Amino acid sequence: MNYTTQMDAAKKGIITKEMEVVSRKENIDIEILRERVAKGQIVIPANKNHKSLDAEGVGKGLKTKINVNLGISRDCPNVDTELDKVKTALDMKVEAIMDLSSFGKTEEFRKRLINMSTAMIGTVPVYDAVGFYDKELKDITEKEFLDVVRKHGEDGVDFITIHAGMNRETAKVFKKNERITNIVSRGGSLLYAWMELNNKENPFYEYFDELLEICQEYDMTISLGDALRPGSIEDGTDGPQIAELMVLGELTKRAWEKNVQIIIEGPGHIQLNEIEANVLLEKKLCYEAPFYVLGPIVTDIAPGYDHITSAIGGAIAASHGVDFLCYVTPAEHLRLPTLEDMKEGIIASKIAAHAGDIAKGVPGAKEWDLKMSRARQKLDWEGMFKLALDEEKARRYRAESNPEHEDSCTMCGKMCSMRNMNRVMEGKDINILRAED
């Protein structure tokens, strides 16, 4: 039986090879997986032309996935530098990489990235349009925007961020509601500017059916971008954000009718106490489509530490049902991330995702922590290193400060609670001041 997309196959009762891979990775019954893909509750972004892909599932009942943003820019156009980051990100086992390239040899970088990447690849085609056509934003036509999407599909991109929810009506809502930070989405601001300069409808909204046909042809998943996401906690959960979310729900149903998989993108900068409500709204208004958030960043005052502010928000968001976290690095709001910035962002996001998985009872999540606790109780340093999220850093910290006694560390020495409790439980004496026998 033939099928066009993963969703089409799922609706027809077909088990694809990608579904089999995800079922094994997640230890989920394959029929439950297929049913959730058919309903749009789980997506498996897998472009037919991405031959090196090791498929991942995103959505209900699965582990929270993380995405890493990379790409060349006008100020940092070195392709090889960014590819070094790609190699490291893949070594760190990220599930997704988004190419946000906006200048220079974008096609070269994208093709090399897709050829080498086992992780799913995402892009934002509107970023690429200006450089691809070498035209000012105002002069790009509706057809040209769609042609860039088709090019990304041909190249093998698995999911694309499309800011189709900001149409002329939601733009009116934005204009009527004063914001501190206006539109902070790069893609959203470009499309808003194009609409204003040309006095036209958002081309991705107006020609959404044509967009769906392209995505259906290559089995590209659409990540419906939140053009009006808040860029400060003051703007969080406001009228423009919610107005756009309602449109995203309508577009989700239209996409599912064409068997195109959908992810919903969310905020952004959100107060801690508003995260749960934001997840509930997305799941209700967008019919349980997988939810993908940037952070969320829970305070605006920590440039240089936004990997921490976003990890706090990401853990809470994941615990309430968010399926996909976009990493944030210490360089957020400041510069293009370095390799070390990227590593810090990945680890912070992985911690947040795992903490969320424990809270929402993802099978196998808590067992990892149980193994670490048992290794700590036994003072099994080698076991702890192997279980650590960042094994290299754990080993380095231990090696940099050697204790007098191997069954302790330089923090507590012979006052180590684990050491002394083990000795007491075994009926042995505790010799904190005396020399060892």
Which positions make up the binding site for substrate? 69, 98, 127, 163, 185-187, 226-229, 265, 292
Report in angstroms the alpha-carbon separations of 204 from 141, 154, 183. 11, 19, 18
Q: From the annotation, which residues make up the binding site?
A: 69, 98, 127, 163, 185-187, 226-229, 265, 269, 292, 333, 409, 412, 416
Please tell me the distance from the alpha carbon of residue 356 to that of residue 350, in angstroms, as a whole number: 10
Please tell me the distance from the alpha carbon of residue 179 to that of residue 193, in angstroms, as a whole number: 17
H-state helical runs in 177-331 = 186-198, 203-206, 208-218, 239-257, 275-285, 306-319
H-state helical runs in 289-390 = 306-319, 339-359, 365-377, 381-387
Please tell me the distance from the alpha carbon of residue 257 to that of residue 253, in angstroms, as a whole number: 6
Element (H or E) spanning 292, and its range?
strand 291-294
Q: From the annotation, which residues make up the binding site for [4Fe-4S] cluster?
A: 409, 412, 416
Please tell me the distance from the alpha carbon of residue 270 to that of residue 381, in angstroms, as a whole number: 39
If you search the block for the tokens 């500017």, which residue do you land on? 193
* DSSP character at residue 64: P
Tokens (6 digits) for 5: 């997309």
The alpha carbon of 293 is separated from its chain's Cα centroid by a whole number of angstroms, namely 7
Q: Which amino acid is at 75?
A: D
Q: HSE-up of 18 (CA within 13 Å, CB side)?
A: 28
Q: Check if the beta carbon of residue 92 is closer than 8 Å to that of residue 62.
A: no
How many residues would you count in the chain? 437
Tokens (6 digits) for 301: 């005052």
Q: Check if the beta carbon of residue 309 is closer than 8 Å to that of residue 293.
A: no
Residue 364, sorted as left (phi over 0), alpha (psi -120 to 50) or beta, turns out to be left
Residue 171, sorted as left (phi over 0), alpha (psi -120 to 50) or beta, turns out to be alpha
Phi, psi dihedrals of residue 88, rounded to the nearest 5°: -65, -45
Q: From the annotation, which residues make up the binding site for Zn(2+)?
A: 269, 333
